[in-house]
């Protein structure tokens, strides 16, 4: 890793739109068949090999090996309006389009035991503001790419119960850039007022020093790089699932994915002169803050940060109401509360930066229906509601809002062994207003369209 950043929430994971898909930077898009039902019944439905990602216990339902591969295109429309220090800070389309890939395989070993593996994404974020954006200290370029590799096993316990467990190797890649925006001018005004008071009190030397720094900050270009971060890291986690099948028409599932601690080690740097460090000490407890906690003058200093990703639970049900019609439902609970803050430390234990997050635990509710229109065609519809996790300290770098899902999809079977899943979802985010920093006032408006395609082959 090359650099740390004040808003390093970016060091989580992946390829999609924060605030457009699920709470905070959690992603729901593990399959296209699930997309068509807004992921209702995810821990109880056995449409294809994507059960590896949702509930490994479901692998015991497969009688022959199956492969599923595809992806989901996220076309997000997230606009930010607001002010910082009284200056307009508006930006449209802060979330670029992205594709979320997936691939899974399930292999029955015998009548009771099955193995599976796959690649998918549970967390991710990509947001981008131009380098002259007024609130550049809060929102710049945040791009996260992460792949979750899973190996799972499942066993039929009998009496309708099955149990599965998996291990996850998570590869995270992050790049973050932040720029000064009007931050320099805002701090310059505060320093100028303080210098005037010192001068009036006869402290001419200190007043002169503050005035010089104020002038330098006031003239700093908006695209001055405050920080840049780029790096990668491997982490380990695990997941488990339990299912109960009353009969072929009724099944319930409970799935758990463990918390993951991503322990980044790398370097911190910025372009502020090292002479500012003495100034930072003088400004302690004065109410005047610079957008840094330590100036390095472009030099790199070692640092470390641990990002606490949450555990989550999901309970689902599947019920065939008729020979052709089935209903699915899910409740998902994510323990975001464990992400309390982000703190980076230097080699000597000094704090390079600290940012309160105080995320709240979040819930997701989903309901869907599937209908076998013909032997070759199954159609799906679904709705879902996602709760916002970043309630206490929202950020424009992760423009999170409550959101509704409206989904539809289909599976077409070309042959008994080959099929294709098609899915579409429209996500409508609730407008969110919040304050960030000392003078940032923002409103976020978000929506997204998701398009999915997967191919499935059994052999």
Q: Are 266 and 8 in contact (CB under 8 A)?
A: no
Residue 239 has a pLDDT of 97
CA distances from 199 to 76, 98, 181, 282, 396 (A): 52, 54, 29, 16, 38
3-state secondary structure the chain: CCCCCCCHHHHCCCCCCCCCCCCCCECCCCCHHHHCCCCCCCCCCCCCCCHHHHCHHHHHHCCCCEEEEEEEEEEEEEEEEEEECCEECCECCCCCCEEEEEEEEEEECCCCEEEEEEEECCECCEEECCCCCCCCCCCCEEEEEEEEEEEEEEEEEECCEEEEEEEEEEEEEEEEEEECCCHHHHHHHHHHHHHHHHHHCCCHHHHHHHHHHHHHHHCCCCCCEEEEEEEEEEEEEEEEEEEEEEECCEEEEEEEECCEEEEEEEEECCCCCCCHHHHHHHHCCCCCCCCCCCCCCCCCEEEEEEEEECCEEEEEEEEECCCCEEEEEEEEEECHHHCCEEEEEECCCCEEEEEECCCCCEEEEEEEEEEECCCCEEEEEEEEEECCCCCCCCECCECCCCEEEEEEEEEEECCCCEEEEEEEEEEEECCEEEEECCCEEEEEEEEEEEEEEEEEEEC
pLDDT at 39 over 90: yes
Calpha distance 53→42 (Å, rounded)? 9
pLDDT class of 20 with cuts at 50, 70, 90? very low
> β-strand 113-120 against 141-158: which pairing, if any?
antiparallel
Question: What pLDDT sits at residue 85?
Answer: 80
Per-residue pLDDT tens digits for 264-317: 777 777 777 788 888 877 777 777 777 777 777 778 778 777 778 889 999 999
- What distance in Å separates the CA atoms of residue 344 and residue 8, rounded to the nearest whole number? 9
Crossing angle between the packed helical segments 204-218 and 276-283, to the nearest 10 degrees: 110
Least confident of 62-76, 167-181, 251-265: 167-181
Task: State the sign of the Cα–Cα–Cα–Cα dihedral 33, 39, 43, 45.
Answer: negative
pLDDT of residue 229 exceeding 80, the answer is no
Residue 21 pLDDT more than 60? no
Say how many residues make up the chain.
459
For residue 1, the model assigns a pLDDT of 35
The C-alpha atoms of residue 296 and residue 293 are separated, in whole angstroms, by 10
Backbone angles phi, psi at 331, to 5 degrees: -130, 125
Percent of the chain at pLDDT > 70 equals 91
Mean pLDDT of all residues in 131-145:
83
Q: Which of 53, 59, 51 is nearest to 162 (CA)?
A: 59
Count Cα atoms within 13 angstroms, Cβ side, for 347.
5
Q: Residue 13 — very low, low, confident or very high, per pLDDT cuts 50/70/90?
A: very low
Which two tokens mark 317?
Answer: 């049900």
436 versus 61: the higher-pLDDT residue is 61
User: Is 325:349 a contact under the CB 8 Å cutoff?
Assistant: no
Q: With contact defined as beta carbons under 8 Å apart, do 8 and 398 qualify?
A: no
| Per-residue confidence (pLDDT) for residue 265, from 0 to 100 | 74
Question: CA-CA distance, 212 to 192, in Å (whole number)?
Answer: 9
Query: Residue 25's pLDDT is what?
Result: 64
Residue 348 has pLDDT above 60, yes or no: yes
pLDDT mean over 355-368? 85
How much is the pLDDT for 355?
67
């Amino acid at each position: 890793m090359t650099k740390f950043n004040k808003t390093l929430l970016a060091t989580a994971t992946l390829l999609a739109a924060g605030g457009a898909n699920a709470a905070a930077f959690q992603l729901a898009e593990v399959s296209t068949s699930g997309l068509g039902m807004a992921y209702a019944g995810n821990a109880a439905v056995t449409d294809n090999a994507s059960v590896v990602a949702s509930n490994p216990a479901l692998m015991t339902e497969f009688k022959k090996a199956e492969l599923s591969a595809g992806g989901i295109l996220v076309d997000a429309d997230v606009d930010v309006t607001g002010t910082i220090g009284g200056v307009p800070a508006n930006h449209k389309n802060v979330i670029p389009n992205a594709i979320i890939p997936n691939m899974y395989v399930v292999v029955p070993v015998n009548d009771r035991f099955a193995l599976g593996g796959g690649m998918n994404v549970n967390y991710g974020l990509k947001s981008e503001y131009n380098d002259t954006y007024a609130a550049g200290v809060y929102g710049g370029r945040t791009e996260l790419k992460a792949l979750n590799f899973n190996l799972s096993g499942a066993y039929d316990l009998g009496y309708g119960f099955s149990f599965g467990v998996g291990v996850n190797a998570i590869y995270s890649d992050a790049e973050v850039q932040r720029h000064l925006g009007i931050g320099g001018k805002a701090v310059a005004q505060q320093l100028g007022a303080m210098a005037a008071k010192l001068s009036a009190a006869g402290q001419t030397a200190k007043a002169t020093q503050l005035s010089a720094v104020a002038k330098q900050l006031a003239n700093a270009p908006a695209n001055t790089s405050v920080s840049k971060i780029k790096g990668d890291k491997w982490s380990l986690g695990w997941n488990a699932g339990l299912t109960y099948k009353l009969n072929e028409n009724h099944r319930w599932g409970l799935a758990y994915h463990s918390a993951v601690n991503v322990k980044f080690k790398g370097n911190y740097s910025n372009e502020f002169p090292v002479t500012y460090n003495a100034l930072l000490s003088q400004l302690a407890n004065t109410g005047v803050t610079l957008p840094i906690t330590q100036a390095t003058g472009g030099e790199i200093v070692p640092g470390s940060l641990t990002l606490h990703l949450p555990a989550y639970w999901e309970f689902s049900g599947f019920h065939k109401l008729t020979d052709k019609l089935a209903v699915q439902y899910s409740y998902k609970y994510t323990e975001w509360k464990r992400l309390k803050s982000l703190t980076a430390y230097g080699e000597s234990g000094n704090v390079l930066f600290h940012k309160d997050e105080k995320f709240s635990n979040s819930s997701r509710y989903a309901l869907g229906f599937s209908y076998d229109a013909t032997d070759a065609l199954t159609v799906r519809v679904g709705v879902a509601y996602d709760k916002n996790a970043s309630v206490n300290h929202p950020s424009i770098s992760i423009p999170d809002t409550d959101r509704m899902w409206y989904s539809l999809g289909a599976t077409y079977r070309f042959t008994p062994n080959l099929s294709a899943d098609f899915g579409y979802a429209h996500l409508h985010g609730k407008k969110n207003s919040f304050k960030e920093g000392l003078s940032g006032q923002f409103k976020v408006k978000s929506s997204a369209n998701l398009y999915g395609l997967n191919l499935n082959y059994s052999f």
